Amino acid sequence: MDPNEFDWDRFEAEGRELELRMREVADRNARAVAESRAARARYEHRGGGESLVREGVPPAGRGRLHQRLDRFELTLTRFELTLARMEQDLSTVKRDLMDVKQEVVQIREQMATKVELESLRHDINLVADGFAQTQNRLSETTNLLKRCLTSA
């Protein structure tokens, strides 16, 4: 691959695009973490007032026990919904991260390394030097042939 033929503009554009995608994933991840912390804070705050564990022994009567169980079931349902949403957000973040990882691998496969470019440059310089030496020898041979032909 000739270094002069390498599309550096495309390479830089792909790098900028990858950087933007990585920032988007990081922003989404930060938002998901912030939402998770806010939900946890709400849950912990709410837990202090509605926690069934901290309640005392219920007074006699089946009606109050059923109310407490209904509240407990409602709290568990909310918690399950919050947990399901957080799992969905986490799977989205994981999927985005895998996409970015795959794109990085593809870019690395397409990109020539600095060592490869330096090796190619060295080979080109060797060929150019050989060509220059060949031109000098051909020039000398041409001069010798002219002398031999003109002196005869």
> Within this chain, do residues 82 and 125 fall inside the same structural domain, yes or no?
no
> Within this chain, do residues 57 and 121 fall inside the same structural domain, yes or no?
no
> Within this chain, do residues 32 and 94 fall inside the same structural domain, yes or no?
yes
Per-residue b/e over 81-102, b at no fewer than 16 CB within 10 Å?
A: ebeeebeebeeebeebeeebee
How far is it, in rounded angstroms, from Cα 38 to Cα 85? 13
Span 69-78, pLDDT tens digits: 888 889 899 9
> Within this chain, do residues 96 and 138 fall inside the same structural domain, yes or no?
no
HEC profile for the chain?
A: CCCCCCCHHHHHHHHHHHHHHHHHHHHHHHHHHHHHHHHHHHHHHHHHHHCCCCCCCCCCCHHHHHHHHHHHHHHHHHHHHHHHHHHHHHHHHHHHHHHHHHHHHHHHHHCCCHHHHHHHHHHHHHHHHHHHHHHHHHHHHHHHHHHHHHHC
17 pLDDT more than 50: yes
Residue 48 lies in a domain: yes
> Within this chain, do residues 106 and 127 fall inside the same structural domain, yes or no?
no
The pTM assigned to this predicted structure is: 0.37
- CA-derived radius of gyration, the chain: 37
Range from 17-26, 39-48, 94-103 that averages highest in pLDDT: 94-103
> Within this chain, do residues 106 and 46 fall inside the same structural domain, yes or no?
yes
- Residue 52, pLDDT score: 47
How far is it, in rounded angstroms, from Cα 152 to Cα 138? 21
pLDDT band at 83 (very low <50, low <70, confident <90, very high): very high
Span 92-146, pLDDT tens digits: 999 999 999 998 888 887 776 777 888 888 999 999 888 889 988 998 999 888 8
Residue 108 lies in a domain: yes
> Within this chain, do residues 119 and 60 fall inside the same structural domain, yes or no?
no
Q: What percent of the chain has pLDDT over 70?
A: 84
> Within this chain, do residues 54 and 15 fall inside the same structural domain, yes or no?
yes
Residue 1 lies in a domain: no
> Within this chain, do residues 44 and 67 fall inside the same structural domain, yes or no?
yes
> Within this chain, do residues 91 and 31 fall inside the same structural domain, yes or no?
yes
- Residue 61, pLDDT score: 59
> Within this chain, do residues 95 and 132 fall inside the same structural domain, yes or no?
no
- The total number of structural domains in the chain stands at 2
Overall size of the chain counted in residues: 152
- Residue 69, pLDDT score: 84
> Within this chain, do residues 84 and 126 fall inside the same structural domain, yes or no?
no
More confident residue, 78 or 55: 78
Residue 3 lies in a domain: no
Q: What residue numbers bound the domain in which 80 lies?
A: 8-112
In sequence order, the 6+-apart residues with CB closer than 8 A to the CB of 98 are: none
